[in-house]
Amino acid sequence: MIFVLTGAGLSAESGLGTFRDEGGLWTQYDLSEVATPEGFAADPEKVLAFYNARRANADSATPNAAHTALARLSQQTQTALVTQNVDSLLEAAGARDVIHMHGQLDWALCAGCGARWDAPAVMQVSDPCPACAAKATRPDVVWFGEMPYHMDRIENALSAADLFVAIGTSGTVYPAAGFVEMARAYGIETLELNLEPSGGRFDDGLYGPATDIVPDWVDRVLTA
């Protein structure tokens, strides 16, 4: 089984910004203001506006050749497809059973009762929760200081994998950044596909734009 971890570099060529590259989101916004529970408590309107803009951007984006290749991989071989991305471009490309460890822009979450529902294109602070009517609506994305989703499932999949592949992620945000070391501890082969080496301890790496290197790698895996 192949365990694939993807990051913002996968969607970069679909026009969605990465976080830490030149001009990236965290060079334009203060992450403590827009991606923490404290930032949301201090200024919910600002936080919803930030995610409304990201949702609009994601809604107008289309999957690129790397998303399509990973969808093919997930359809044709046993794959755990784990993403840190909050867009739905892997699903749009036809990937099955994508594990969104940092949540999804398409979903809204009630900070009061935990209910989830389809996020409207524009979320507003005054939107009541459809389950409990609390005006505590927030995007269903994981913020700094919060526990990523599906960690049990992810750790089970990682322990059962034969190959760990990280694609388009800088490896700076834990726990995802620690998966390569966990894979090594399990004796699993590790591979990085990225624009440039992230500095993580991988057995092997292929470097270049995701739309070039991911389809080539998937073709090799599926014809091996």
Provide the annotated active-site residues.
102
102 near ligand OAD, judged by CB under 6 A: yes
Residues 192-221 that bind ligand OAD (CB under 6 A): 194-196, 198, 209-210
Stretch that binds ligand OAD, among 17-25, 41-49, 123-131, 181-189 (CB under 6 A): 17-25
Stretch that binds ligand OAD, among 12-20, 37-45, 90-98, 181-189 (CB under 6 A): 12-20
Concatenating the DSSP letter of every residue in the chain gives -EEEEE-THHHHTTT---SSSTT-HHHHS-HHHHSSHHHHHH-HHHHHHHHHHHHHHHHT----HHHHHHHHHHHHS-EEEEE---S-HHHHTT--S-EETTEEEEEEEETTT--EEEPPSS--TTPPPTTT--S-EEEEEPPTTSPPTTHHHHHHHHHT-SEEEEES--S-STTGGGHHHHHHHTT-EEEEEESS--S---SEEEES-HHHHHHHHHHHHHH-
Q: Of residues 9, 39, 44, 200, which one binds ligand OAD by CB under 6 A?
A: 9
Cα angle: 190, vertex 196, 202; to 5 degrees: 15
Binding string to ligand OAD for residues 137 to 166, with x set by CB under 6 A, is what? -----x-x----------------------
Concatenating the DSSP letter of every residue in 192-223 gives EEESS--S---SEEEES-HHHHHHHHHHHHHH
Given a contact cutoff of 8 angstroms between Cβ atoms, the answer to whether 138 and 40 are in contact is: yes
Residues 38-67 that bind ligand OAD (CB under 6 A): none
Stretch that binds ligand OAD, among 52-60, 74-82, 117-125, 168-176 (CB under 6 A): 168-176
Q: Of residues 18, 52, 68, 79, which one binds ligand OAD by CB under 6 A?
A: 18
Stretch that binds ligand OAD, among 4-12, 116-124, 129-137, 151-159 (CB under 6 A): 4-12
Toward ligand OAD, which CB reaches closer, 23 or 187?
23
Cβ 1 to ligand OAD shortest distance, Å = 23
Residues that bind ligand OAD (CB under 6 A): 7-9, 12-13, 18-21, 24, 35, 84, 102, 142, 144, 168-170, 172-173, 194-196, 198, 209-210
